[in-house]
Structure 1
Amino acid sequence: MRIVVLDDYQRVARKYGKFDDDVQVLHEHLADPVEAIDEADVVVAMRERTPFPAEIFDRLPRLRLLVTTGMANAAIDMEAAAAHGVTVCGTEMHGSRNTAELTWALILACRRHVVTEDRALRDGRWQTTVGTDLAGSTLGLLGLGRLGSQVAAIGRAFDMRVVAWSQNLTPERAAEAGATWVSKHDLFTVSDVVSVHLKLSPRTEGLVGAADLAAMKPSSILINTSRGPIVDQDALVSALASGSIAGAGLDVYDAEPLPAGHPLRGAPNTVLLPHLGYVTEGAYSSMYEQVVEDIAAWRSGSPVRVLAGPTLAT
């Protein structure tokens, strides 16, 4: 039986998961993975790094088990997997604050010019920027679910006013999370920090567009640790280039890894991270351990944490 682990960027899969020596671990991202995995019976995918649309399953007749870290993966066509007789299993995510913590790393890095000052100091310069206070400013949250509520709590600890909006959010639910419901337009106009915490879906793709960015204060910043396509990327690049917003902190992009020469790589006043929201010691340890469990359980005929496929076990 051939098992292939994809997208082990940090070369840590064997550290966190007790894989057999004959398991093949690939470290570089493959835009088209079929040639590398066409003889595999089992493939392990790290989150949404490698998409598995229907046409990929068409080209992998030998594949029988696809394990994804996390209990949901929008990059996998679950119906196509089931139609091709492929069982898809997931793993539970360790901890619940990984992405919320990284959101605040980006907010603080942008507001206090951490990257700019680090580079300036290494170049021999001292104190080149003036930071912006968080206390007394307004934090606007697009989405107030689990992650948005965690970010809201930290915002209140910084003595920020917290406002929120999403398509289904009510004033009552916002108040329960310590936020004030506002309209989408008002969120963009009053917020000093706008942070995105929505799931990507047809309803949210392109939700933040040019008009929303134009409504922001010139002193405001945008943070996105959810999914790149929620924000109109071209509109964001234009807003940054024109200086109509003060900056952006991004952990997610339309295409990942972010291609060489992409306009965002040269955009001013940005802090760019390579989708690190879930990348922590605790999360990796938990996920890779459960990946090994999933493979063993499937091989024994009793798959666990099944998301799709011919055997919908639990």
Structure 2
Amino acid sequence: MNDIHILVTMPQHAVFRTFFDADAMAALEHIGTVHWNTLGRQYTQDELGAAVRGMDICVTGWGTPVFDEAVLAQADRLRLIAHTGGSVKPYVTDAVYGRGIRVVSGNEVFAESVAESVVAYALASLRQIPYHSVNLAGGIWPESFANRGLLDRSVGIVGYGMIARYVVGMLAPFHCPIKVFSRHIGQDELDRCHMEKAELEELFATCDIISIHSGMTPENHHLVTRELLQSMKPGALLVNTARGAVIDEPALCEVLAARPDLSAALDVYETEPLPAGHPLEKLPNVLLMPHMGGPTVDRRLAVTRSVTQDIRRFLAGQPMSCEISRSYAAKMSAY
């Protein structure tokens, strides 16, 4: 395979080292001749076009310029794009698929890690872990507790993609009854996971925990309306690790302020970073996280191993486990 040329666009800085240790670099170099980005920064669009000339495979990361027509015009040998991130939407255009270039990504590895964060955020909120940790550090020992658990609690899943499927699997030991709002889920999947399909109105009004997993498409902008938020049952928890704009954020702030019985665990926001002085900062019933749901840093090497293995499969003419089809890429979030 020594005549295989592989371009890695990720600059060799601190983030690079979380994806590529010595073993990961050696594994890629065993496949073919690897051309590393040694600029210390991301390629510009023009630089990417020049760098991809003569390359069979391109390994991309966060911040790589988009593979538009100008770049692809110079990609005379490119056959595979292997993205070390999750969504390929910001990098891979429809023209990539039009040229027959295959695409893989770390989406499944990312999805499992994000699902882990959903369960973690739910447990932290329900058991009031941050609240009691801060109080105890300040010398306050509680006289009573109002914490709750996840066992046997009803869960509503809004949107059913890869992350949601992992969440459902991770909830199995908690034996939670689950309702799902999805435009695409089939009855076979509902039966397999012992779930019930529900409209948003029913889901918000009846579930103890609601987890958002809808992608950021035009039709999903403010999918979660003020009316849905107001209809949440007493003591309900809302978890969002999807995209901030799926929820009407101003309405969320007002509803949480008016109903202290409700709580929210948020990892994503309409504007990121969260602006200083944002109303969410003042609400005691909100767990705020800085869009770090996944993957955890220790899982990044797993992403690299996964896409490297798919590069081997591609070159051997075998099916790839992490391939992103044209139709699936079209449904991915752009950010």
Question: Normalization by structure 2: what TM-score?
Answer: 0.67
Report what 1:300 is aligned to.
Answer: none
Which residue does 2:10 correspond to in 1?
5
In structure 2, relative to structure 1, the CA distance for the partners of 1:81 and 1:162 (3 Å cut) is closer
Q: In the alignment, residue 116 of structure 1 is paired with which amino acid?
A: Y
| Aligned mates of 2:20, 2:188 — CA distance in 1 | 47
CA contact (8 A) 1:200 1:229 kept: yes
Question: Per-residue deviation at 1:122?
Answer: 1.4
Matches within 5 A, 1:118-197: 118-127=133-142, 129-169=145-185, 173-197=189-213
The runs of 5 or more residues in structure 2 that have no matched partner are 1-5, 27-33, 53-57, 313-319, 326-335
Hey, what does 2:246 align to over in structure 1? 230
Deviations 1:58-91, CA, capped at 9 Å, x for gaps: 99899968763246423335137789x9x78543
Pair 288,206 (structure 1): closer, same or farther in 2 beyond 3 Å: same
Q: Alpha carbons of 1:118 and 1:89: their partners in 2 closer, same or farther (altered >3 Å)?
A: same
Alignment correspondent of 2:284: 268
Q: Which amino acid aligns with 1:5?
A: M
CA displacement, residues 142-161 of structure 1 (integer Å, 9 cap, x when unaligned): 13444324323443422432
Displacement of 1:283 after TM fit?
Answer: 3.4
Please list, as runs of the form range in 1=range in 2, the aligned pairs for 1:271-290 lying within 5 A after superposition. Answer: 271-280=287-296, 283-289=299-305
Q: 1:292: how far off?
A: 7.3
Question: What RMSD in Å do the two structures reach over aligned CA positions?
Answer: 4.3
More moved, 170-179 vs 219-228? 170-179
Deviation at 1:207, TM superposition (A): 1.4
Counterpart pick for 1:18 among 21, 25, 47: 25
Structure 2: how far apart are the matches of 1:292 and 1:183? 41
Q: Once the two structures are aligned, what percentage of the paired residues are identical? A: 25
What CA deviation, in whole Å up to 9, does each residue of 1:155-175 have, x standing for no partner? 342243222222234566423
In structure 1, what is the Cα distance between the partners aligned to 2:267 and 2:74?
32
Which amino acid is 1:122 matched to? A
Give the 3-state SS of the residue equivalent to 2:180 in structure 1. strand
Distance 1:222 1:284, change over 3 A: same
Q: 1:12 to 1:238 in 2, by over 3 A?
A: same
Q: Please, what TM-score do these two structures have when normalized by structure 1?
A: 0.71
- Identify, as 1 or 2, the structure richer in helix: 2
- CA separation in 2, counterparts of 1:258 and 1:233? 12
Q: C-alpha displacement at 1:189, in angstroms? A: 0.4
Shift of the alpha carbon at 1:203? 3.0
Kept in 2, the 8 Å contact 1:165–1:182? The answer is yes
Shift of 1:265: 4.1
Distance of aligned partners of 1:204 and 1:155 in 2 relative to their CA distance in 1, 3 Å threshold: same
